[in-house]
Structure 1
Amino acid sequence: MRLLLTSAGVKNPSIHRALLDLLGRPIGECTALCIPTAMYGHPHAGPGEEVWRFVSGRSENPMTELGWRSVGLLELTALPDIAAQRWVPLVREADVLLVSGGDALYLHHWLRRSGFTDLLPELTDTVYVGMSGGSMVMTPRIGEEFVGWQPPDGADDSTLGLVDFSMFPHLEHPDLPSNTLANAEKWAARLSNTAYAVDDETAFRVVDGAVDVVSEGRWTLLRP
């Protein structure tokens, strides 16, 4: 699986070019599956209007509205009660997964409970595009500052660990006064792995474990 881990979607031409590079062909030739699950676990993201805006391509975070050949909707919370043969082929056939922001631990919980994580090793040709919490779920840890929703098993801040770095998104965002570089440095100091702080004009492109920072904004490597 090839990853494009963004803070706020495909926000600028550089991130858009990185997406095209990962796809290997025009967006209009690719099928997408939209996964909004993380939004339901976040008090400021869902349920309600924000979820609809993301799914319908009316949010401020470009993901579903980029001109895909088709966009389907996959809700992880429904999958445990649906036969695998009804949804697994859709995942295998999709060219790209568009995973919204929200609560990373809530998303992590449902990725595992739904059985979606069992498919990940098979998705070698799939491009995963994450936004905020949808990106953070791929990291080893999100850090205690980003723990909101509490898993029923009392798990810690660990997530999938498909990349070896953690991510502090929305750096210096005007609507998030606590997302300062000083707070990001404190967050990173409590981690044992590589950590970055990134603004909304920055993303990570990950191919076969190799990581490239794609940015038209501000980013900082906090813990090498």
Structure 2
Amino acid sequence: MKKLILTSTGLQNPNICKAFLDIIGKPPSKIKILFVPTASRTKEELKYAKKSKKELEKIGIKLIKTINLDCKLNYDEIKSYDVIYVCGGNTFYLLYKIKESGFDKIIKNFVSAGKLYFGVSAGTIICCPNIKIAAPFDNNDVGLKNFRGLNLINVILSPHYCEADKKFIKNYSRKSKIEVIPLRDNQAFVVSGKSGEIIQ
């Protein structure tokens, strides 16, 4: 069964935190997290990645391994983890590194095995059919030309939504012919099996 929690800002909302623990179904002290802050390159982005890690520690999770996708990985190294947690930052750089390292295939195998993928901001967008919605907000400084995402969901999520984005999202959805779901900072798109729902 496919399990995804896709957020704007991580575990700040207690309802998202509850859904996270319910889906995993283990005591926090026994949960193993693979933590991926690769998209966080600037001082500001790294600050949020550290905050995400502290949120995990705050709920009692101690088994956290950090990787940065700077080398090839294989699924056997990853399959013992309960969660792949991918932080926010630059969406284009993140997708570039994920595909370069082969981590895209690992994520798909991990999710197919019924394990939980947790995304924050850029880590959320890469799960969509494509990542073009990030263009007004992130600089494509790696010259990425293939914007195809991991396609783990069949809608586009737009994190950090505010009313000022309403017109842009409406136009984007019309042009791309794919449903766009806006996500506010206190919301998550939770997939359990085939269906998805917003938690707030």
- TM-score of Structure 1 vs Structure 2, range by shorter chain: 0.7 to 0.9
The residue number in structure 2 matching 1:51 is 46
Structure with bigger RCO (C-alpha 8 Å, 6+ apart): 2
Query: 2:169, 2:180 within 8 Å by CA — same for their partners in 1?
Result: no
Residues 1:10 and 1:56: Cα distance change in structure 2 (over 3 Å)? closer
Q: Which moved more, 1:145-154 or 1:19-28?
A: 145-154
User: Which structure has greater helix proportion?
Assistant: 2
Gaps of 5+ in 2: none
Q: TM-score, normalised by structure 2?
A: 0.84
The residue number in structure 1 matching 2:91 is 104
TM alignment of 1:155-174, pairs within 5 A? 155=146, 157-172=147-162
1:130 equivalent to 2:130? Answer no
Moved over 3 A (4+): 55-59, 62-66, 150-153
In 1: Cα distance, 2:125 partner to 2:144 partner: 20
Query: 2:36, 2:67 within 8 Å by CA — same for their partners in 1?
Result: yes
3-state SS of paired residue (1:182): helix
Shift of 1:212: 1.4
Task: State the identity %.
Answer: 24
Post-superposition CA distance 1:12-39 (Å, at most 9, x none): 1211121112101222220111101112
In 2: Cα distance, 1:53 partner to 1:172 partner: 19
Post-superposition CA distance 1:146-169 (Å, at most 9, x none): 4522444523x3311110010111
Query: 2:96, 2:144 within 8 Å by CA — same for their partners in 1?
Result: no
Residues 1:160 and 1:106: Cα distance change in structure 2 (over 3 Å)? same
Shift of 1:191: 2.0
Query: 1:56, 1:65 within 8 Å by CA — same for their partners in 2?
Result: no
TM alignment of 1:20-31, pairs within 5 A? 20-31=21-32
Residues 1:24 and 1:186: Cα distance change in structure 2 (over 3 Å)? same
Gaps of 5+ in 1: 41-45, 174-178, 216-224
Shift of 1:209: 2.6
In 1: Cα distance, 2:48 partner to 2:83 partner: 19
Query: 1:163, 1:209 within 8 Å by CA — same for their partners in 2?
Result: no
In 2: Cα distance, 1:20 partner to 1:93 partner: 17
